[in-house]
Amino acid sequence: MQKTTRHIIFTLVLVSLVLMGCAMLPTSEPQAPALSTSEIILTSANGDRQALQENVEFTNGQATGVVVQVFPDQIKQTIDGIGTSFTESSAYVLAHLDPADRMKVMQNIYGQDGANFSLTRTHVGACDFSVEGKYSYAEQAGDTALTSFTIKEDTEGFALADHPGVKDTTYDLLPMIQEALKIKQSQEDSELRIIASAWTAPAWMKDIEDYYQPMTAENGWQGSGGSLKPEYVSTYADYLIKYFQAYEDAGVDIWGLTPVNEPHGNNGQWESMNFSPESQSEFVQHHLGPGLRDAGLGDAKLLIFDQNRDGMEEWSNVLFPADKENKFIYGMAVHWYESTIGVYEDIFDMVHAKFPDYTIIHTEGCIDDLGKPAPADCWDPAGRTETNWFNNDEFWWTPSASDWAYAVPWVGDGVKDHPLYTPVHRYARNIIVSLDHWATGWVDWNIVLDQQGGPNHVGNFCGAPIMIDTESQDVYYTPIFDVLSQFSRSIRPGDRAVQTAKRIASLNDDDIHFCATINEMGMLSVQVLNTSASPIDYKLEIGDQFAEIHIPENSVQTVRVEL
């Protein structure tokens, strides 16, 4: 046999043996491509304002220590948005700026390069954050046909003779909303969903025939907002529908509606009107729901309740079963004022488990009683000065707000729910935990207020994400604004919440909070809050990969990962 032939045979045998050996080797699953963060954004007490941190790589394996687990394949609720509110008070404060300066502020709020808020709220008629209050859109008593209906109050501006600091006398609530929509329409991401809430019906429709009756010695310190007279229940439904149509005619589509703000009332401190769960259910099923449908407004998102989270179970048990056939109701609106630290996520879970087809949207929250001194016989544990929150980031990052935690007899054991708290923590904790427990949206209260937390026609001064000195025109973006902006920019309408879990090792349960959402492009956004005074090194675990991430003390972090 020739040498060349022997070489060919040897080579063929060798190749055969190699192939046979490869076939005998154990097979393994192909490794998923290594993940990496696409951006990490940080807002912190150290002065970071939506600052970019260095990206990190993921490695294979199971994490140990402090672990934030995210399960992108376990999809939960669809997000409606993150945002803040339009009020007459906000419009009034903005009217004190030159139009060009005002536009810069509005771009920062609604522009695609700003916070780009997608979910918002406004009031129907007067509320406490109206400049003078006590008005409606139908002031003619007995006008059941509502021929006198007009939204002029929202458009007529503020006369210079009565308001000498105003720079734009034509600016008002409706022009503010129209300006925001104009900003939105000029950009690719144009979503702005507006929820409307009435604080009260016109006075003549109510049994007290007034907007509210304050607490006095004469009425036994039992103030009231009153209730609808039976003969005007259907007229009130028509009134709300008229509002929808009038705003639509003005180029503003209202996305959602609540029958009334805070149906339990507020002891007659400002505009209000009472409903019970049963009376609101009757109003929705027999008046407002059919009225919206017959007016061609059946797509409006009707939200019930619109008050504190601790009442969710009672109201849902009455209103949701009654809606089984008609399906008028989209979900439930809630506020946070029953506790400065509690989120009531156990009640969220309970309501969702029982009524999974209905949404939960947080429609109002703010730093309450910010500009009000403690009563003369009380001790203010915050030790606040008149405006020590203005141009002072420290106030917002430390336990500085006290709400109702004055040392007063009526607080009693309730002080445990209203201790001193850190404003940024309250916002970030509430948003993160709510979204992690079935909330589909979260809305702040006034987007802009003056340096005192007003104007408010009954002195109910509160904090706002943006506060403006109406004399100097100094615009202060509080850390709250950056937190809301950071969330809004990375959590958009249509995103889906995903399941999370945590192993926190030796940390306290309140030290770290987080939630996660994913968009249709596969971008995962994880929001993390570190409330502690120490930095935390945690592992973000996704599937069989994890990344080591550092979050500084007292900070809010957004971690984005493209899957």
- Do residues 184 and 110 touch, judged by C-beta distance below 8 A? yes
Name the DSSP letter for residue 286: I
Query: In angstroms, how far apart are the furthest CA atoms of the chain?
Result: 125
φ/ψ of 503, rounded to 5, equals -125, 110
Tokens coding 117: 């808020």
| pLDDT band of 221, cuts 50, 70, 90 | confident
Report d(CA 548, CA 299) in Å as an integer: 45
Which tops the pLDDT comparison, 280 or 416? 280
Query: What is the tens place of the pLDDT at every residue in 419-430?
Result: 888 999 999 999
Using alpha carbons, select from 504, 543, 459, 472 the residue that is nearest to residue 62: 543
Equal fold, 37-76+497-562 vs 81-493: no
Cα angle 189, 195, 198; round to 5 = 155
Cβ neighbour number for residue 456 with a 10 Å cutoff: 24
- What is the structure's pLDDT at 216? 83
- What is the structure's pLDDT at 16? 46
- Do residues 124 and 246 touch, judged by C-beta distance below 8 A? no
Is residue 415 classed exposed, middle or buried when 0-12, 13-18 and 19+ CB atoms within 10 A define those classes? middle
Cβ neighbour number for residue 320 with a 10 Å cutoff: 19
| pLDDT band of 404, cuts 50, 70, 90 | low
The answer on pLDDT for 494 being more than 90 is: yes
- Do residues 302 and 361 touch, judged by C-beta distance below 8 A? no
- What is the structure's pLDDT at 17? 37
Tokens coding 497: 């919440």
Using alpha carbons, select from 399, 384, 389, 391 the residue that is nearest to residue 463: 389
Percent of the chain scored above 90 by pLDDT? 84
Q: Is the peptide bond before 409 cis (omega within 30 degrees of 0)?
A: no
Taking each continuous run of H as one helix and of E as one strand, the counts in the chain are 12, 21
| pLDDT band of 411, cuts 50, 70, 90 | low
Which residues, including other chains, have CB under 8 Å from residue 3's CB and lie 6 or more apart?
none
Q: Is the CATH number of domain 81-493 3.20.20.80?
A: yes
Which tops the pLDDT comparison, 416 or 484? 484
The answer on pLDDT for 8 being more than 50 is: no
Using alpha carbons, select from 200, 226, 229 the residue that is nearest to residue 142: 229
- What is the structure's pLDDT at 482? 98
First to last CA, the chain: 60
Report d(CA 306, CA 547) in Å as an integer: 40
The answer on pLDDT for 513 being more than 80 is: yes
- Do residues 549 and 559 touch, judged by C-beta distance below 8 A? yes
What DSSP element (H or E) covers 468? strand 466-468
- What is the structure's pLDDT at 217? 80
Average pLDDT over residues 14-25: 42
| pLDDT band of 383, cuts 50, 70, 90 | low
DSSP β-bridge partners for residue 538: 549
| pLDDT band of 400, cuts 50, 70, 90 | confident
| pLDDT band of 410, cuts 50, 70, 90 | low
- What is the structure's pLDDT at 29? 55
Using alpha carbons, select from 525, 516, 523, 513 the residue that is nearest to residue 498: 516
Percent of the chain scored above 70 by pLDDT? 89
Entry pTM: 0.93
Antiparallel, parallel or unpaired: β 536-542 and 67-78: parallel
- What is the structure's pLDDT at 170? 97
160, amino acid identity: L
Average pLDDT over residues 339-345: 94
Beta strands in 473-544 (DSSP E): 475-477, 496-503, 512-518, 523-530, 536-542
Give the 3-state secondary structure percentages of the chain, helix then strand then coil, rounded to 5. Answer: 30, 25, 50
Report d(CA 36, CA 57) in Å as an integer: 4
DSSP β-bridge partners for residue 427: none
Report d(CA 436, CA 441) in Å as an integer: 11
Per domain, the residue ranges of the chain are 37-76+497-562, 81-493
| pLDDT band of 219, cuts 50, 70, 90 | confident
Domain 37-76+497-562 has what CATH class?
mainly beta
What's CA 245's distance to the chain center, in Å? Answer: 26
- Do residues 526 and 558 touch, judged by C-beta distance below 8 A? yes
Average pLDDT over residues 313-319: 98
The answer on pLDDT for 252 being more than 60 is: yes
The answer on pLDDT for 14 being more than 70 is: no
The answer on pLDDT for 360 being more than 70 is: yes
Crossing angle, helix 423-436 and helix 479-490, to 10 degrees? 20
Name the DSSP letter for residue 310: G
Is 289 strand, coil or helix? Answer: helix
Average pLDDT over residues 441-470: 96
419, amino acid identity: P
Beta strands in 175-286 (DSSP E): 193-198, 256-258
Which tops the pLDDT comparison, 27 or 387? 387
- What is the structure's pLDDT at 414? 58
Average pLDDT over residues 298-322: 98
- What is the structure's pLDDT at 5? 44
Using alpha carbons, select from 533, 319, 524, 505 the residue that is nearest to residue 422: 533
Query: What is the tens place of the pLDDT at every residue in 131-171?
Result: 999 999 999 999 999 999 999 999 999 999 999 999 999 99
Average pLDDT over residues 377-381: 58
Report d(CA 328, CA 496) in Å as an integer: 24
- Do residues 488 and 444 touch, judged by C-beta distance below 8 A? no
Report d(CA 130, CA 142) in Å as an integer: 25
Report d(CA 239, CA 249) in Å as an integer: 15
When mean pLDDT is compared across 124-133, 284-293, 394-403, 525-534, the lowest value belongs to 394-403
Cβ neighbour number for residue 394 with a 10 Å cutoff: 11
φ/ψ of 133, rounded to 5, equals 75, -175
Report d(CA 259, CA 276) in Å as an integer: 12
- Do residues 242 and 252 touch, judged by C-beta distance below 8 A? no
